Structure 1
């Protein structure tokens, strides 16, 4: 089988045209995601949620679910690009999300096709139509019901502090969040090995700070400092 590029496979159009190939591609990627374990930065973010409680919101572009595996809660984690461990109805009969069905191999060889049995269990529990991965595809838009668009904007409008970690700033909603916080003049800390549009927001703000380095080394001490300052 050929090696598809994300721009070819991560679209609703591709799913309608070749659903088996799209599912096989995502099941392989799911196995790759699960081969990664939470690191010190992920654990520090989860610990910060435990300390701040309902004053904490995590907006993540990651679809690997690693923040949930590190200990963050689904309630306070806005998965704005989805989560590869969940499915939704491919026919949009509802907005509900469902865990990936049991009976699917977690380790999926690249290029392995979907079998009749696997196709039979990759179904919407509500209507029985073929399910699709819970991910935001390139030819789709953010919404509130599935991707917490309005909730993310509201969080940015009320945040006492925004910490931006490890993103190149190439997608729309995160940039809106950063721009809104910067426009409000709220404190912003950007942690990244390289400059990004978010570092520009931070550097243009009197209350912004760019910490150049890796999340693994910088987030644990930063999380402790934030908990000391903002914790109850």
Structure 2
């Protein structure tokens, strides 16, 4: 498959499933999890900041870390790649499914999930918190109004609505993604290393069902040998080429 064939496959497909990783948000200035561990936070291991054990030991420390990341993502803006995926959803309607490994909320802010298709945030969202007692998920107030640790309307402490090390992805979200990729005529895998399972296995659901897998990533990944076409571009540039808006 070459670029022209990949573009045709995407344009003519009625069912498109997309998986995005950190690469699509890099152009918005969002650092990866480990890249965000600078300054004061550089002395901590990821497990010290993003695990149930870390939260149980020091919830104030964990919340201080997440409050900073929450503030940073709110200051960022969706880039052309986010907007192009929202446009692709408008074109495909109910046949469009987007699963993201990112927790920055930029896809939703660009309009994904509100154009007739489906958006699933597999790893959670930095702008949400979950009641530790009831499980209710609530949006956080603005950073200026945020007190740590936040409390729910019922007065219970809330934890970040993020999938931490040692936790499973939400079963309903993962099942929905698996079904969407198995039914997709075209799967787009954008800006992800394809190393973190089970999300990394979604492309193979499409391949096994006879669909086409198109990868967009500046670097070769573990998925590259199995993709029908790999485009060595940034997310925004690759999507522009595939959608014919370059």
Q: CA deviation at 1:182?
A: 1.8
Compare 216-225 and 17-26 and name the one that shifted more. 216-225
Say if 2:234 is the partner of 1:214.
Answer: yes
Q: Deviations over 1:33-90 (max 9, x none)?
A: 2232211111100111112111101010010001111111267111001110111122
Which residue is 1:76 aligned to?
A: 118
- Provide the C-alpha distance between the structure 2 equivalents of 1:49 and 1:5, rounded to a whole number of angstroms: 38
2:120 and 2:198 map into 1 onto residues whose CA distance is: 12
1:58 to 98, 102, 108: 98
Q: How far has the Cα of 1:157 moved from its partner?
A: 1.4
Between the aligned partners of 1:105 and 1:85, the Cα distance in structure 2 is 13
Aligned counterpart, 1:34: 74
| Aligned match of 1:167 | 192
**Alignment check: 8 A CA contact 1:45 1:223 kept:** no
Q: Residues 168 and 196 of structure 1 are in contact (CA less than 8 Å); yes or no, is this contact kept in structure 2?
A: yes
SS in 1 for 2:147: helix
Distance 1:99 1:140, change over 3 A: same
**Given the alignment of the two structures, is residue 155 of structure 1 paired with residue 197 of structure 2, yes or no?**
no
Shift of 1:5: 3.4
Matches within 5 A, 1:42-121: 42-73=82-113, 76-91=118-133, 93-94=134-135, 96-102=136-142, 104-105=143-144, 118-119=147-148
SS at match of 2:230: strand
Q: CA deviation at 1:140?
A: 0.5
Answer with 214-223 or 41-50: which moved more.
214-223
C-alpha distance 59-224 of structure 1, shift in aligned 2 (>3 A): farther
Conservation of the 8 A alpha-carbon contact between 2:84 and 2:236: no
Q: Are 2:219 and 2:232, in contact at CA under 8 Å, matched by a contact in 1? A: yes
Distance apart, 1:128 and its partner CA: 2.5
* Structure 1: runs of 5+ lacking an equivalent: 107-116, 203-207, 226-232
> Does 2:148 match 1:123?
no
Aligned length: 203
* C-alpha displacement of 1:131: 0.3
- Please provide the CA RMSD for this pair: 2.1
**TM-score normalised according to structure 1 size:** 0.80
Large movers: runs of 4+ above 3 Å: none
Q: Does residue 1:8 correspond to 2:52, yes or no?
A: no
